[in-house]
A and B are shown apart, each in its own frame.
Chain A
């Protein structure tokens, strides 16, 4: 699995003291990202599923749109020629 470790090493290969600054920023950012609170996947999955279910009937692409309510399909008037 390629993670952004590869890119950290890319910066390290370069020379110059500005890369010390860049590296410090990377470490600071990683510290921040490591510190967040995480919710259990079971909870996250349940919430996504619940949202889908709750909104299913209001989702026209999912339920289909009858021609009488489809704004892209105006009712054609039939006429005998």
Chain B
């Protein structure tokens, strides 16, 4: 038997081992475990603010963290602008013109000092919001990816993680502008990433239909989750960091538990036939808000896997969604060029 053939056999055996090991701990299902729990009552959120200013499709938004920027968020649009909003007043704190208008992602640093963005320019650009003369300038351009930048998230003012259409994720040293770690393993474009609440891990969702959990300091992939039947576009952590939620072009969201190493439940409805573009859990994790291609956001009871609400208000695809760090409001961004704040 050739070496390749032997390796292929070993890979198959290991895959079967993993499937078996997952079955061994499957002493129940989430559905059975929560059978006695009452479904959450109908959730009806109202639009409290509409943020107007972008002139083209909005592709991404990210809330600032509560400690430094109460209710500030950043949005990115293919009108070539990053806008930092004060969501309470709807004022634009900063309107940052971009070198490349083909932006696909943006992020707010936890400190509130910086924002980042990137897209078809294959770069992650870091902007300093707290420059001496008050002007917002490019601080670093992180270039090394050989594919589009799909997502980025700050670990701190000195480190950021990016995901790319080149199938890798990268941990960068912002100060030196260099790659610290390359996380390779996905076999398709990486579309989305999320950092764990303790900042030790991150998860990535890709066009190979899998989600991967990465140990940042060990520079290794710890776990791989399959089950989706199409590209994973959105990914997030359950608030306690022990589970992962994914959203896919297969019209479903899935909940994977990290410690049980398996899918616990799928959020699907025969009436939903379009892809999931974005997702965010509520503060307690009980609600899952997911944006879809059909212009709506569906709100799911995360334990019971039933729809308990809908946010209908956009005139085009909902491309991004986020829940503020104090859980007080949800922000949706759309291809209709508006952002809406709901609670």
Q: Which chain B residue has the least Cβ–Cβ distance from A5?
A: B15
Chain A, 7-37, contact with B by CB distance < 8 Å: what is the 0/1 string?
1111010000001100110110111111010
Residues of A contacting B8 with CB < 8 Å? Answer: 8-9, 12, 23
Q: Does B313 belong to the interface (CB within 8 Å)?
A: no
Determine how close the nearest CB of chain A comes to the CB of B198; give it in whole angstroms.
15
Q: Is B260's CB under 8 angstroms from A44's CB?
A: yes
Q: Is A65's CB under 8 angstroms from B328's CB?
A: yes
Residues of B contacting A12 with CB < 8 Å? Answer: 4, 8
Interface majority SS on A: helix, strand, loop or mixed?
helix
Q: Is B343's CB under 8 angstroms from A70's CB?
A: yes
Q: Is A30's CB under 8 angstroms from B18's CB?
A: yes
Given A7-B187, A29-B221, A39-B260: A61 in contact with B323 (beta carbons within 8 A): yes
20 A-B contacts (beta carbon < 8 Å): A4-B187, A4-B209, A4-B224, A20-B7, A23-B11, A27-B11, A30-B11, A33-B224, A41-B260, A41-B262, A41-B264, A44-B264, A49-B303, A51-B285, A52-B302, A55-B285, A58-B283, A60-B283, A60-B328, A72-B341
- Which 5 residue pairs across A and B have the least CB separation, nearest first? A55-B284, A45-B33, A72-B48, A59-B284, A30-B14
Q: Is B284's CB under 8 angstroms from A56's CB?
A: yes
Given A27-B7, A41-B25, A71-B88: A33 in contact with B223 (beta carbons within 8 A): yes
Contact of A40 among B4, B27, B328 (CB under 8 A): B27
Q: Which chain A residue has the least Cβ–Cβ distance from B47?
A: A72
User: How far apart are the CA atoms of A61 and B283 in the complex, in Å?
Assistant: 8
Q: Is A39's CB under 8 angstroms from B259's CB?
A: yes
Given A41-B264, A44-B259: A51 in contact with B226 (beta carbons within 8 A): no
Interface stretch (choices B108-116, B135-143, B236-244, B271-279): B236-244
Taking Cβ atoms with an 8 Å cutoff, the residues of B that contact A are 3-4, 7-8, 10-12, 14-15, 17-18, 21-22, 24-30, 33-34, 37, 40, 43, 45, 48-49, 71, 87-88, 185, 187, 208-210, 220-224, 226-227, 229, 238-240, 242-243, 257, 259-262, 264, 282-287, 289, 302-303, 323, 326-330, 341, 343
Determine how close the nearest CB of chain A comes to the CB of B87; give it in whole angstroms.
7
Determine how close the nearest CB of chain A comes to the CB of B273; give it in whole angstroms.
19
Q: Does A77 belong to the interface (CB within 8 Å)?
A: no
User: How far apart are the CA atoms of A16 and B279 in the complex, in Å?
Assistant: 41
Q: Which chain B residue has the least Cβ–Cβ distance from A9?
A: B8
Interface majority SS on B: helix, strand, loop or mixed?
loop
- Give 19 A-B pairs besides A51-B239, A72-B88 with Cβ atoms closer than 8 angstroms: A5-B15, A10-B187, A24-B7, A26-B7, A34-B18, A38-B22, A41-B26, A41-B262, A42-B27, A43-B259, A45-B28, A45-B33, A48-B242, A49-B34, A52-B302, A56-B286, A60-B328, A62-B40, A71-B328
Given A20-B4, A23-B8, A65-B328: A44 in contact with B257 (beta carbons within 8 A): yes
Q: Which chain A residue has the least Cβ–Cβ distance from B258?
A: A44
Contact of A61 among B26, B45, B226 (CB under 8 A): B45
Residues of B contacting A5 with CB < 8 Å? Answer: 11-12, 15
User: How far apart are the CA atoms of A4 and B289 in the complex, in Å?
Assistant: 28
Determine how close the nearest CB of chain B comes to the CB of A26; give it in whole angstroms.
6
User: How far apart are the CA atoms of A33 and B224 in the complex, in Å?
Assistant: 8
Residues of A contacting B187 with CB < 8 Å? Answer: 4, 7, 10
Q: Which chain A residue has the least Cβ–Cβ distance from B259?
A: A39
Given A34-B21, A70-B343: A49 in contact with B37 (beta carbons within 8 A): yes
Q: Is B21's CB under 8 angstroms from A61's CB?
A: no
Q: Is B21's CB under 8 angstroms from A38's CB?
A: yes
Q: Is B259's CB under 8 angstroms from A48's CB?
A: no
Determine how close the nearest CB of chain B comes to the CB of A37; give it in whole angstroms.
8
Residues of A contacting B221 with CB < 8 Å? Answer: 29, 32-33
Q: Does A81 belong to the interface (CB within 8 Å)?
A: no
Residues of B contacting A34 with CB < 8 Å? Answer: 14, 17-18, 21
User: How far apart are the CA atoms of A56 and B301 in the complex, in Å?
Assistant: 12
Determine how close the nearest CB of chain B comes to the CB of A23; give it in whole angstroms.
5
